[in-house]
Structure 1
Amino acid sequence: MDIQRVLVADAVDAACVDLLTKNNFKVDCKYKQSEEELIKNIQEYDALIVRSDTKVTENIIKAGKHLKIIGRAGAGVDNIDINAATANKILVLNTPGGNAISACELTCSFITSLARNVVPAAASLKAGRWDRKLYAGHELYGKTLAIIGLGRIGKEVAIRMQSWGMKTIGFDPIVSAEEAKTFNVESMNLEQIWPLADYITVHTPLIPQTRNLINDKVFSVCKKGVFVINVARGGIISEKDLLAALKDGRCGGAALDVFQQEPPVDAVTLEIIQHPKVIATPHLGASTSEAQVRVAVEISEQIIALTGKNKQYTETPGIVNRVVLGNK
């Protein structure tokens, strides 16, 4: 694939530009462009790299007369119009493994913080109170953790929380029961999982099959007081139904790093964020220095691999619409 000029439209770690430049790509960094500005500027480039800020719309894609690759330095491609890219024979890449450890570690810290009421207890003490009895928690040892999505992140969460003595069960339509057993997760269907789980953590993409996956019906068949964690994508847990379950006690607490709307302005979302049983963070799953370097390097390596400029780089694990390669 002939790629000469690359536009970096969102702030990524300098390792991205450094690696591309060393391999003889011409790289320009132009951040915070409006759609109109990007439509005008994209015409000059063969590849576009984004993070989360830039929404790569159909209009931008159509304007990219020389565009062959759109790469997202991160997991998921929610901000890229995949259908439009495929229709225009433009390859879409992401870095599915780049933030796995960071997202896993945030998930684990959420689970332990929920169990011991770390966040509200710390806030109470800072406010001058001494509420030992109010914030008594429970042990994780012997509790059941349900992991929905047993890919890179789900697997890493399972391994770490097993060291706390948690029983791990899970569901993934792609990962076989035999493969799940290799990292000590008992594979079950969702109907089996819900009544058994003390904690539920989701690690799936947001697709039609997973939108509102955890909803009012699920809360009604779970153990009373179940805890839920979401560092994957907003919309997998129905926010309206979560709020109702928090209010009536079906949900004992939630830890959320992602929301249906970011930044959130919806009244239901804002009420969830303020709820005393909720830990809420502003989409920090990949916000570690290590993850930022990793995704920056991985997206560059894949672009280099597709051009064949450097035989050191041959892997392209983040191709989303591989059919485009067939078209070429």
Structure 2
Amino acid sequence: MSTCFITQPIHPEAIRFLQEQGFHTRLASQPTMDAVIAEVGDAEAIITRDLGFSAAAVAAVPRLRIIACHGSGTNAIAVAEAARRGIYVTRAVNANSRSVAEMTVALMLAAARRVCAADAAVRNGNWGFRYEGAGIELHGKTLALVGFGAIARDVARIAGLGLGMKVRAWSPSVPDDVFVAHGVERIASLEDLLRQADVVSLHRPADASGQPVLDAHHLDLLGNHAIIVNTSRGSAIDTRALRDRLVAGKLTAAALDVMPHEPPLPDEPALSSPAMILTPHMGATTQEALIRMAMMCVHQVMDCLAGKVPAHVVLPSG
């Protein structure tokens, strides 16, 4: 009987399905790499979430054949070390795109209408909050999408067709015909895109250099009325520069579902920022997305252990 070791809880339907197919499943006692290394044993397959799977963990599993990532980001997985051992690393491509897109739009609306601050005001007896500053209507505003992958395309549909926003995007890697097919205007440079933006939504991680996509220079291209939303990666934006501009009134609001360190460090600038909505990397956390991601991982594991090449294999960079 093959063993699939799971580093963090996944949807129970996927676990039941694995067991029905004759697999033995084990869950780490704690979502830490130390616990994983101590407990993984002779597993042939791993399903991991944001914990990832380190090089030390790879070295600790002699029979390992596949590491299936319950999501699209594999930066916390030792992909190169796995490849040296002939171990597949896979990811759950586009399984959570719609859920993250809906979270993006929810954060846009919450920031534009000051929903979190209004909730806190009512709970604190301040019904007069409604007179303390008007919100912003998104209809007719320009949405600037930084990156134009699957999530951004879903955001474009929801915001364009549902909210009547003017959607523009920048991506150096997406072909022109994709922009045409989605009815989104392609902007040639990130700087030009930001100069036009009322709302900026980040859908592109930092590059290999570690430099954020939006740094102080880019933030200064935005108008005082602008709103920023990040549901991509915490490293995509300089949160200190973002905080400073919110304090100075050079931006209207921001909403982050991702942070440079997760959980955030005590001195994380975003934690002390006004007009900032923070959520705990929950964009993909819907019942529907969790089932899709878990089942995609399960089928990748089953294919691998049946001698097939699983879908969505990740190769080492460089």
Name stretches of at least 5 consecutive residues in structure 2 with no aligned partner. Answer: none
Partner of 1:191: 191
Matched residue SS, 1:28: strand
Partner of 1:326: none
2: distance between equivalents of 1:235 and 1:145? Answer: 21
Task: Note if 1:76 corresponds to 2:68.
Answer: no
Partner of 1:240: 240
1: distance between equivalents of 2:104 and 2:271? Answer: 17
In structure 2, relative to structure 1, the CA distance for the partners of 1:119 and 1:76 (3 Å cut) is same
Under a length normalisation based on structure 1, what TM-score does the superposition of the two structures give?
0.88
Partner of 1:202: 202
Q: Is the 8 A contact 1:91 1:322 kept in 2?
A: no
Q: Is the 8 A contact 2:65 2:304 kept in 1?
A: no
> What amino acid maps onto 1:319 in structure 2?
V
Output aligned runs, 1:79-228, within 5 Å: 79-129=76-126, 130-162=128-160, 163-188=162-187, 189-208=189-208, 211-228=211-228
Deviates more, 1:272-281 or 1:161-170: 272-281
> What amino acid maps onto 1:59 in structure 2?
A
> What amino acid maps onto 2:181 in structure 1?
T
Partner of 2:14: 16
Q: 1:209: Cα distance to partner?
A: 5.8
Q: Is the 8 A contact 2:206 2:212 kept in 1?
A: no
Name stretches of at least 5 consecutive residues in structure 1 with no aligned partner. Answer: 324-328
> What amino acid maps onto 2:174 in structure 1?
V
Q: 1:276: Cα distance to partner?
A: 3.0
Q: 1:159: Cα distance to partner?
A: 0.2
Q: Indicate which of 312, 319, 323 corresponds to 2:313.
A: 319
Matched residue SS, 1:78: coil
Give per-residue Cα distances to partners, 1:53-72, cap 9 Å, x unaligned.
x3411111112211111112
Q: Indicate which of 24, 36, 39 corresponds to 2:37.
A: 39
- After superposition, the CA RMSD in angstroms is 2.2
Give per-residue Cα distances to partners, 1:104-130, cap 9 Å, x unaligned.
111101111122222212211221111
The aligned length equals 314
Q: 1:275: Cα distance to partner?
A: 2.8
Q: Is the 8 A contact 1:55 1:79 kept in 2?
A: yes
1: distance between equivalents of 2:61 and 2:206? Answer: 27
> What amino acid maps onto 2:216 in structure 1?
D
2: distance between equivalents of 1:193 and 1:209? Answer: 22
Percent identical residues: 26
Deviates more, 1:14-23 or 1:257-266: 14-23
Q: 1:250: Cα distance to partner?
A: 2.3
Q: Is the 8 A contact 1:62 1:88 kept in 2?
A: no
Q: Is the 8 A contact 2:10 2:294 kept in 1?
A: yes
In structure 2, relative to structure 1, the CA distance for the partners of 1:258 and 1:117 (3 Å cut) is same
Matched residue SS, 1:70: strand
In structure 2, relative to structure 1, the CA distance for the partners of 1:228 and 1:36 (3 Å cut) is closer
Q: 1:251: Cα distance to partner?
A: 1.9
2: distance between equivalents of 1:195 and 1:26? Answer: 55
In structure 2, relative to structure 1, the CA distance for the partners of 1:276 and 1:89 (3 Å cut) is same
Partner of 1:259: 259
> What amino acid maps onto 1:228 in structure 2?
I
> What amino acid maps onto 1:122 in structure 2?
D
2: distance between equivalents of 1:156 and 1:115? Answer: 20
2: distance between equivalents of 1:143 and 1:210? Answer: 31
> What amino acid maps onto 2:5 in structure 1?
L
Q: 1:173: Cα distance to partner?
A: 2.6
In structure 2, relative to structure 1, the CA distance for the partners of 1:89 and 1:143 (3 Å cut) is same
Task: Note if 1:27 corresponds to 2:29.
Answer: no
Q: 1:74: Cα distance to partner?
A: 1.9
In structure 2, relative to structure 1, the CA distance for the partners of 1:35 and 1:136 (3 Å cut) is closer
2: distance between equivalents of 1:96 and 1:207? Answer: 19
In structure 2, relative to structure 1, the CA distance for the partners of 1:36 and 1:18 (3 Å cut) is same
